[in-house]
Structure 1
Amino acid sequence: MKSIQTSLEDISYLLRIPQRKPYGTMEGNVKKALKIAKDEKDSILASIPADLKETGSTLYASLIDGKGGLQALLQCIKDQDPDRVSVGLASSLDTIAELELLQAPGLSFLLPQPYLKYPRLTGRGTVEFTIEKVDGSTFSPEAGGEPKKNAKIQVVIDGFSAPLTAGNFVKLVVDGAYNGAKLSFTDQAVLTDNGLDKNSGYSVPLEIMPSGQFEPLYRTTLRWRIASSSTIRLRAVAMAHSEVSEDFSAPYQFFFYLYDKRNAGLGGLSFDEGQFSIHNHRESLFSQIKSGDIIQSAKLVEGQDRLILPYEN
């Protein structure tokens, strides 16, 4: 699934190229993803628990031939319609995220004993944010839609890669801590406020899963591990650093990373905070967020059963 996702995520950057967009390259990316999905059908479905096989099969069929699937995305690219490509791409990535949610329940590694005092997410979950504009303006619609004062953003929370960071974040969402949070917009991120005036969460150890590793690294930034590579996805969500120690994440403040190859460091990496989530939304949606806009609500729509709180140990 990762290789399919990576191939599709590259299209997001290609869509941002003005004027003559490289539709031929986009078509090649989708065809590559489609071939992998078809060739690996058996292994994709085999990784889904038996009681979820039917749901997985339906999602797989939707990914291949559904209205928002890869075949439909391929046609949008052939029609050279960037708006439809953007919508179709988001739909395909959403389906991939749903398939990943069905796979591999539980963690494949043991957490260090001292870290069991923190909330943790033992798998994946989904959080939906409703963003509200406060200056009376509206969000531009997707193809065929109407301008709206609010926009919804769904993010997949990855407890497999960062169980402590994800657990703290999900607990904050469940507790309603982000409802009403103010946002700030910069060239590379959309950030929440620092939460100093709120009952914030846990300052958990910095938690990073380098590419090729089977368990996260703790209290170690990637700049001190040059030999290790890490893939920061184009649509990453991460916690800010703690103001007290760079070895820990902030207990409350997080940001949506706005990937831009022009500003990225070596290998495309431009921050060393621990990534715990991804989103599949258009960059143009985030560019419409202004400093002062708020998170009207944040709710956990999937994954409550995977959240383990300290008192349950």
Structure 2
Amino acid sequence: MFRWIFSCFLAISLLLTSCSNSSSVSASASPSSSATASAKPSPNSTKAPEAKPSDNPLEAALAKFVQLKGSATVELKLKSGVVKIELDGNNAPVTAGNFADLVKKGFYNGLTFHRVVKEPTPFVVQGGDPLGNGTGNFVDPATSQTRYIPLEILSDGAKQATYGEILPPTQKPKLRHNKGAIAMARSQFPNSASCQFYFALDDIYFLDGSYAVFGYVTEGMELIEKIQVGDRIESITITKGAENIKQPA
């Protein structure tokens, strides 16, 4: 599964070059096999050897991504005021880590909110696209490659997140799409999230298990509700927890 996830990234990068809505919130996604790992003891060993990071396929796979090991607080400055957001790296380390890293790089400063859906009922405010039209992604200047992250959803009561697939309806995620949730936008491919994010303007639980929530607005939700298409992100800064950002091994 882990080998599939990273090979899938290469295919995704090619497919998305011709996709006109590469990071729009969509209710459809392509299912894939579950991300599971098992450790087999040596037949000549009388006791289990101590586990090393390289011995765990999942840990080895996740080590290739920026992670947030804990929580972090960010402040989103809009023309109308400041919004505070708590990022949950305990339950979504890769997703929160990717966002926190982009915030730290100053990537979002000056970008616009290109999609706002409030009718017929409050839905989402979406931004973070460098192209401003819903088709842009983050290209790492160090590698000249687009950075994609796997769909990461922790089921309520589970100890390990599921990677690369949407959850079945019988499983509820620990981080739900409550009003004020911040989550990653993506295309129909589960592992196509890059930099675009959205805020839930209401409880939109039908997206649970299909999109990765990684935090919640703690102050200033009324400012999020006033955002219009074209409004700019004056700045996003990390005010607490920057030390919890861990770069790839």
In the superposition, the TM-score normalised over structure 1's length comes to 0.52
Compared CA separation, residues 198 and 114, structure 1 to 2 (3 A): closer
1:120-139 to 2 correspondences below 5 Å: 120-132=67-79
The percent identity for this pair of structures is 28
Instruction: Determine if contact 1:185/1:290 at 8 Å carries over to the other structure.
Output: yes
Mark the structure with the bigger radius of gyration. 1
Secondary structure at 2:207 match in 1:
coil
1:191 is matched with which residue?
126
Cα deviations by residue, 1:92-124 (Å, 9 ceiling, x for unpaired): xxxxxxxxxxxxxxxxx9953122111001000
The match for 2:197 is 254
Task: Give unpaired runs (5+ residues) of structure 2.
Answer: 1-55, 131-135, 141-145
CA contact (8 A) 2:74 2:237 kept: yes
- 2-side partners of 1:297 and 1:158: how far apart? 20
Match of 1:180? Answer: 110
Write the distance in 2 (CA, Å) between the matches of 1:110 and 1:159: 20
| Structure 1 unpaired stretches of 5+ | 1-108, 133-149
CA separation of 1:221 and 1:159: change in aligned 2, threshold 3 A: same
Question: Displacement of 1:194 after TM fit?
Answer: 2.7
Distance in 2 between residues matched to 1:306 and 1:197, nearest whole Å = 24
Q: 1:306 aligns with which of 226, 244, 248?
A: 244
TM-aligned CA deviation for residue 172 of structure 1: 0.2
Letter of the 1:130 partner, please give it. Answer: K
Amino acid at match of 1:289: I
Question: Contact 1:118 / 1:202 at 8 angstroms: preserved in 2?
Answer: no
| Deviation of the 1:251 alpha carbon | 0.9
1:116–1:274: structure 2 CA closer, same or farther, 3 Å change rule? same
TM-score by length of 2: 0.64
Provide the C-alpha distance between the structure 2 equivalents of 1:216 and 1:246, rounded to a whole number of angstroms. Answer: 18
Deviation above 4 Å: which 4+ runs of structure 1? none
Asked whether the 8 Å contact 1:168–1:202 carries over to 2, the reply is no
Structure-1 residue corresponding to 2:207: 270
Please state which structure has a larger fraction of its residues in helix. Answer: 1
Residue by residue, what CA displacement relative to the aligned partner does 1:236-256 show, whole Å, maximum 9, x if unpaired? 100101x3x522142110011
Alignment-mate amino acid for residue 96 of structure 2 = A
Residue 185 of structure 1: CA displacement? 1.6
Query: Which one of the candidate residues 159, 164, 167 is aligned to 2:89?
Result: 159
Per the alignment, residue 117 of structure 1 pairs with 64
